[in-house]
Structures are given as C-alpha cells and as structure tokens.
Structure 1
Amino acid sequence: MLRGEKIGLRARHAEDHPILLSELYNDVELSARSEGRPWRPVAPGPKDPKAIDDDPSIVQFSVVELGTDTLVGLAGVWGIDLHHRSAHLGLGLLGAARGKGYGTDVVNTLCRYGFDVRGLHRLQIDTLADNHAMIRAAERVGFVREGVLRSAGWVMGEFLDAAVYGLLAEEWRSAERQE
C-alpha cells in the first residue's frame, strides 16, 4: 500500500466492487461528469468491470482511510507514456468521504507514485472547469493551470469547459521540501 497522510492507495479488492458500483459507477450524473463518455449501467458481479489489469498504461487503486482501512474512493494513473515519461491522474471519492481533505492527499500520493515509483517527469489533470474540489486539490499539491478547453465535455445534455493542469517532477519535489 502506498500511504499518504490520511489515505492509502491499494489494489482493488473484490469486496470494493459492490460499494463502487452503488456509490460511483451507477450514479448517472457523477459518472457522466467523470468518465468522459456516456454513462452505461454496470451489472453487479464479482469482478469490477472498470478494473483493467492487462493495460500497462493504466494503474488503478482503491482509496482507503488509514487506520480503519475503510474504502473511500478510487484513483488512477492513466495514459502512462514511458517515452515522454508522462501520465494523467484521476480520482473519485464516495459521497461520505468528500470535504475531508482526502482529495488533496490522494493527488499528492498519486504524484509520489508517478514521480518516485514510476520515474515520470510530468503529470496532468484534466477536469471539468466547474469541478472546484479537484481544482483545489490539484493547486494545493502544486499543479499549474495550463489552459481551458472550451466546450470540451458533453455532460448530461450540455457542453462544459474542461481545465488542464500540469505538474513537473522537479516542481513537486521543490514544493515537498518547502513544507
């Protein structure tokens, strides 16, 4: 397990699937806002259909609260490009886990995974421009807003702007030393 201050990132377990299914995957609006594709219902079953074990460009984690090992969400590093040494980060927290500072801790811990464990040079967060919680978490960790993609996301009947944030390994390490 990769430990942050409040959370841990671990492999997805079979018992995580029903919780993620009911609280994240089958929430139509949340899924439409976070997936970047149309919502589709996910059938219950023993295997998490969104866990991709055989794609080396994606690493998925379950997010657990340290101390209790309670599942509080999911996170991932995707679009891993070993030539350019870059990747994208994403996360989703269960409703009861929001507003507790877990998002910033997850983003920081994903940065540790990307920069220290994988040796990546650049990490990127793409989010809807009105996703204030993700934007706050990204900025607290040191991500810089690099641009806005106008009307880039089709969400529940309307186009929304997307914001792009980037962070380089040396920027993250410099910010870590200053704390």
Structure 2
Amino acid sequence: MLRGEKAGLRARHDDDGPVLHAELYDDVVTRSGASSKPWVPIPVGSADSPYAGPGTGETRVPFSVVELASGELAGEALLWGIDPHNRLAHLGISLRPAFRGRGLATDAVRVLCTYGFAVRGMWRLQIEALADNVPMIAAAKRAGFTVEGTLRRSAWVHGRFVDEVVLGLLAEEWAA
C-alpha cells in the first residue's frame, strides 16, 4: 500500500467493487461528471463494470482509496492515459459521499503523484475537472497543481455542456 498522512492507495479487492459501484457508479449525476463516457445501466458484478477485475494495464492503473485512521474503503483513485514516451499521465479520484470533506482528496492526490513521479517516472501529471467541481480543483491546488486553462463547454454532463479546468504538475515542481 502507498501511504499518505490520511489516505492510502492499494490494489482493488473483490469486495470493493460492489461498494464503489453502488455509491459512485449508480449515482448517475456524479458519475456523469466524473467520466467522459455516457452513463449506462450496468449491473454490479458485470464484466462491463468499471470496478470489475484488476483493470490494470500499460495505460491505466486503478487503486482503492483507504482512510488510514479507520481502515475503511473511502473511494477510488486512478492514473490513466499513461504515455510512457512523453512521460505523462492523467489522474482522478472519486470519494464515497461519507468520506468527502475529511482532507482525503488532497492526500490521495499527493499519494498518486508519488506513484506517478517516483514509481512510474512520469514528467507531467494532469487533472481535468469540471469547473463546478470546486472540491477537486481545491484539492489539486493544495497538492501543488497549477491551473493551466479552461476548456470552454467541452464536456456534456447530464443534459448540458460545461467547462473543464485543466491543471498540471511537473516532476520538478513536485520534487521541490
């Protein structure tokens, strides 16, 4: 397990999938804002579930977020779009509703950065967040990310186009 001050990132366990599916995927509005793919009804345990199987590969590494104080499953974290040639990757997190507002998001982002920069040797990490996702943008900034721009009306989310904020962090900034 990779550990921060409040959050740990570990491999996804079989019993994590149903919890994450019920609390993160089945919340249509939240899931629509977290994924660029349209929400479709997928049953828990289906091979099509985003939480089915390990899901790891050359371009995607999923983690379960654990609150270290309680040992409870707090959500998911993901390094995706890994480009080993250009040494860049994207990251994302999603916390279960009961674990939001505890400082876990910032810590999970920091731990993902440790994984991306120290373990995987990335040069750049990037976050795309909906402009109205103030908690994610704040967590990214606290973790050292810089707002690099806004993609106007670039995401179709639950019936409307919304802006996305792009944040970036370079390895040299993280090391400092």
| 2:105 equivalent in structure 1 | 103
Q: TM-score, normalised by structure 1?
A: 0.93
Shift of 1:96: 0.3
Question: Would you say the 8 A contact 1:153–1:160 is kept in 2?
Answer: yes
Amino acid at match of 1:5: E
Question: Would you say the 8 A contact 1:24–1:94 is kept in 2?
Answer: yes
Quick one: which of 59, 66, 77 aligns to 2:68? 66
| 1:3 equivalent in structure 2 | 3
Q: Distance in 2 between matches of 1:67 and 1:100?
A: 11
| 1:177 equivalent in structure 2 | none
- Against the structure 1 CA distance between its residues 47 and 12, is the aligned structure 2 distance closer, same or farther, given a 3 Å change threshold? farther
Amino-acid identity (%) = 53
* Segment drifting more, 90-99 vs 61-70: 61-70
| Matched position secondary structure for 2:150 | strand
Q: For 1:46-71, what per-residue CA distance to the aligned partner results, in whole angstroms no more than 9, with x for missing partners?
A: 76831453531000000011143200
Question: Would you say the 8 A contact 1:14–1:47 is kept in 2?
Answer: no
Q: Distance in 2 between matches of 1:54 and 1:107?
A: 19
- Against the structure 1 CA distance between its residues 9 and 130, is the aligned structure 2 distance closer, same or farther, given a 3 Å change threshold? same
| 2:172 equivalent in structure 1 | 170
Identify unmatched segments of 5+ residues in structure 2.
Answer: none
Q: Distance in 2 between matches of 1:49 and 1:109?
A: 25
Report how many residues are paired.
Answer: 174
Question: Would you say the 8 A contact 2:155–2:163 is kept in 1?
Answer: yes
Q: Distance in 2 between matches of 1:62 and 1:95?
A: 15
